Amino acid sequence: MDQPETDQLLKDYVATADAAKLAEISTQLQIAYAENMPSISLFSGPVWYEWSTLRFTGWPTQEDYYVRGAPWSDDSGERLVVLMKLHCISEEACAQAK
């Protein structure tokens, strides 16, 4: 898509060090993008995680969603909550997990 106005905004952006001018140009670029660029949001901020119930139970479920189960969560306390709720499904499973 040919957008001479946007091209000029980009040239103006790299040509200045003035913080107020940069903010103004950024706002104009964002508006131009929103008005002219087709985009489809697929999802916002998904959190994926998976686990196996082969040897352990106690993971968060849809019925008992006590905490997000993502190990990369910003709050490391969530990992501890999950860990404290896990338990082996049998003595044999515990032995195999060691």
- Signed CA dihedral, 65, 67, 68, 69: sign only: negative
CA distance 84 to 95: 19
| pLDDT over 90 at 8, yes or no | yes
Chain centroid to Cα 86, Å, comes to 25
Question: Which pLDDT value is given to residue 21?
Answer: 96
Q: What is the pLDDT of residues 41-96, one digit of tens each?
A: 676 666 677 888 889 999 988 898 888 766 665 666 777 888 899 999 998 888 88
Residues near 1 by beta carbon (within 8 Å), at least 6 away in sequence: 36, 37
Count of residues making up the chain: 98
Question: Which pLDDT value is given to residue 70?
Answer: 66
| Band of residue 1 on the pLDDT scale cut at 50, 70, 90 | low
